[in-house]
Chains A and B, each alone.
Chain A
Amino acid sequence: MKTSHAHALQLFARQLRWLLTLRLAVQWTTVWFFCWGVIVLALRIWGTSGTFWLAFGLLGILPLTAVAALRARQSQPKFDRLRADYDRLNACGGVLMAEETADMDAWTAQLPAASVPKFHWRSGRPIFLLLVATGFVAVALLLPERLTRLAAHRSLEIGPVVEQLQAEVKTLAQEKLVPDKQADELQKQLAQLQKDSSSYDPAKTWEALDHIKQADSDVAKQAAEEALRKMESLAQAETLAQAMQSAADKGMNAETASQAAQDLATLLNAAKLETGIMDNKIPPELLAGLSGLNPEQMKKLAAALAANKNSLSALAGKLANLKLIDAATLAKLAAAGQGGNPAALADYLAQCKGGGDDEIFSWLAKAGKGGPGGGGPEGNMMWDNDTSEKDLKFKEHALPPSAHLSDAQMVGVSKAAPELAANDLQEQHGALDNTAASGGSAHAQVILPEQRQAVQAFFKRDGK
């Protein structure tokens, strides 16, 4: 081989090796930089302190380049192919390739001057990606610590919810609806939740908050139900106490007074006012001497009952303000606290000659619900004397015949397809009815099923 061509060929091969090495090194470095940047960001976000040593990841370029050089050497084309390409690029017409089997010195003098071909690498995209990766690593390394901390401890915005729950727990504790110890525990849980809440796992936080909210609601509902029961009893007892006071003035006999006093005691005992949510207790001396209360003591008892009703109403109001009970429940409580008609009951007691317990309780239960003026007890439901069925059924009569189609008036045109009844289909003609014996009607023939395959095969195009 002509010396210049041999030298040029060596340069050509070396140039290719360098280019392949550079290309691989750039690609692998880009990938390494992205991975390195992700590792740096992750470590910094997780709170690794002293991140200076992360910069040593830059040294990863050295082994990558070495491996790239080794890989490029392994993947370099064989020498005969390089020589063939050199022969082609220099327009040597196969003379250099022929050197694989023969001495071509006689011909090399006629070859064109040696010129080392240049390799062109479209490096725009790889270099751009490398720059992006480098920028990513730089940002990951130089990002201020406060930003990484921000990303690490991003808490949920649950302050208002926690405040609401804390107020609920505080109210329930004040009203003795939950024990103080349990209330303290709940307050601690809420504070811990607010501190530990994380945007990376919001479901866990929301689930805990929902649990506390549900517990508060359950306690409030139980208290409301209890308050409703006691409010009814208090209202009845208050009505009876007031009626007894008035009836005494109207000359209620002793037997009736004694019976009413026993009924009042029965009502108050059944209400179990001394337990549960009652704040203002009934003075025990009044409860003990219910059968022989003088007017002054009866007045005190009525006042105590009224105070207890007010206390229950206030409790219900607080629960409603915290939305632990709904408006309907609050309305029920208010309705239960409405006393009956003590004046009517007093009249009844004054006229009563030794009435039984059942009559007084029945009267109390229905008092004030009988219409204008208080009224008396409501009438019982009767199930005899069936209602007349007169005029309940329509009389059957035939409609007049419809008008003829010629008398019809067009009210509009629809674009929708007409709907055919099954009978209409039977009136269609056969496929061959319109064909004639001759005259070019063949083109209108319908393709019968047994002919379809042959027609498809005729028009079938080659798939290639």
Chain B
Amino acid sequence: MSATNQSKAFQSRIGEALGNQQAHTNFRSAMNMLMENRLKQFPDQEELLHKRQRADAIRAHALRNLPALLEKLEQKLVENGIQVHWAENGEEANALIHQLLSQAGARSVVKGKSMVSEEIDLNHYMEERGIKVLESDLGEFILQLAGETPSHIVMPAIHKSKQEIAELLNRHFPEHPYSEDVDTLTQQARQILRDQFRQADAGISGVNFMVAETGTLCLVENEGNGRMTTTVPPLHIAVTGIEKVVELLSDVPPLLELLTKSATGQPITAYFNMISRPRQTGEMDGPQEVHLVLLDNGRSHIRRDEELLDTLRCIRCGSCINHCPVYVQVGGHAYGTVYPGPIGSVLEPMRQGLDKIGALTSACSLCGACGQVCPVQIPLPKLINRLRAEAVTQQVETQGVKGQGSLRKLLEVWTWKGWRLIFGSGLRYRLFKLLATRLRRLTPPKMGGWSRYRTVAKPASRSLDEMAAKAGFDHE
């Protein structure tokens, strides 16, 4: 997509989102609740800062030593009997997973919640090849029925009201009585899904943390669907990004605590799975085979840049999204990407290229709320600012972000050159001030999108400079 087209498409999604009052109400109440819940978990700000610093250090250490840790991880996993596969991009990951499923003769798959599987568009790939993939996470299950994509990385169906969900379930499963009661709806979905778990030939899941020291795959969830997905079918395939590795088992608790508290305001989730090996002889349950597919998909490229590297510390809690004043207005679908909100606005342009989706960086007031709540202290505003600079730069480098300079527009370039000319010289700025204040009546009453929502402020009749001199202040 050309730079102009991506901006146009983005603006049209924003327009659509802003017009949907119901969705805005849903987002507003959900985000208010999530922010309140998080705050209750962190009563002591100083302690929180200390915890964030620790989590940051754990993740930064892992990323610095990524190649060595991945090697160690692979070695341990193989020792444990988990087979490891490497995928350069989404296409490779899907092909690998498809091959594993085909070899096992799998026709039907249950899948736990996994953003990486969204990133590689796994469901479509498998369905096109005749393999049925059923989402087992309640939110994802609802979206699969609705034919929609997640609008949030932790709560994928957060944009839906319970009425919408009730109607959706009733339409697809008329044998269950219509209800708007959340517990009843959950029970219905549970019954529908339970049969599918028993029948599935394979389970696919994501991973939250991979421990290099022990070769353990950790999976955080609330519904038990993750445990079912990874233990009931005979074949379990986990797929995740290479950055999810940590060195030590003792690195997990501090990250887990911040993840659940930052994400949903829970001190701990209902389920925390630690997967270390397939079913052993004499064991009653568990999959016969466990595979891990490790996806790069641009992560190594991001890691090479000392500043952009910080993005990979992300533990996908979604707290930046919950606190983003732009996200609460437009919701997740407006971004048009797998990862929305602040983290999406930095990760997606790095992943896909500024020429593809760089326009996302414009949807940020740089308020800094995201950076304040990030449990691993990713400097999100700074990264957005950096990407804006990359998007309009003239010096294109091979090592830089993909699509560098693609949003450079001549009108903007000349506007800033003109601005620099005026504000870069005391003399010219004073002349400009004189004109602006003396000719204030000529200030245009309308200024594009600004005056759609506000009046235009006129320059004062005298600048502060003049007023200060008159009031006897010293000049220098």
Do these two chains really belong together in a complex?
no
Residues of A within 8 A of B (CB): none
Spell out B's residues near A (CB within 8 Å): none
